[in-house]
Copies of this chain bind each other. A is one copy, B any other.
């Protein structure tokens, strides 16, 4: 990886044409030849970039460009399309190269999946006497996280989220609508379970007759550890 801080201007042509006026920016050249142009603000999206696979060719400026103060011109050409990025370097303030090696990559911890597993094992958290029917109970619009039965034999559909937001309630509502069309299941009660439930979601859920259940992830994991330790 090569890091260059420089006063530069750039032009991109491809899906669209765009220009970057002269300013001081960070230019990152990754091992695969891809290039990122970052300013000192904004979010993670670069001002301009070239995705791999691409090639980088460094050229001397012609007389005209040199007269404008250009020191070097970088031509970054995409390998599979005619997308190109042209960077005019006017003043290089920093230039360093680093060996980074291959990255093991991001490991996403499926807290939501874990919560589902734990709640299935600790189904009594829905209330005493509840019984698990199954996880990932299939419907036409996708599986419901958990289907259970309450002590009276009534069906209970559970939607699990890490953060309980309005769209989670909407999702559960759609499932309930479908499940209630099944004469063997109806009436189906809804439970919206999450580590944290937003006030708006709570109001909407209440309005639709859906029960809210706040899950204590740490406590549930503790229970899980305790039970596995017993056997």
A: which residues have CB within 8 A of B? 1, 3, 5, 15-21, 23-26, 28, 30-32, 34, 36, 38-49, 51-52, 82, 93-94, 96, 98-109, 111, 114, 162-163, 225
Given contacts A40-B31, A46-B44, A52-B43, A21 and B107 within 8 Å (CB-CB): yes
Given contacts A23-B101, A23-B103, A40 and B44 within 8 Å (CB-CB): no
Tell me which residues across on chain B come within 8 A of A49, comparing CB atoms: 43-44
Which residue from chain B places its CB closest to the CB of A23 in the assembled complex? B103
CA distance A42 to B111 in the complex (A): 24
In contact, B100 and A18 (Cβ under 8 angstroms): no
In contact, A40 and B94 (Cβ under 8 angstroms): no
In contact, B34 and A43 (Cβ under 8 angstroms): yes
A8 to chain B, nearest CB (A): 11
In contact, B20 and A107 (Cβ under 8 angstroms): yes
In contact, A96 and B94 (Cβ under 8 angstroms): yes
CA distance A103 to B21 in the complex (A): 9
A222 to chain B, nearest CB (A): 11
In contact, B108 and A25 (Cβ under 8 angstroms): no
Which residue from chain B places its CB closest to the CB of A108 in the assembled complex? B18
Identify 5 new A-B residue pairs, CB closer than 8 A, beyond the known A16-B162, A26-B98: A24-B100, A25-B100, A40-B102, A43-B52, A96-B96
Tell me which residues across on chain B come within 8 A of A28, comparing CB atoms: 26, 38
Tell me which residues across on chain B come within 8 A of A39, comparing CB atoms: 100, 103, 105
In contact, B111 and A25 (Cβ under 8 angstroms): no
Which residue from chain B places its CB closest to the CB of A98 in the assembled complex? B5
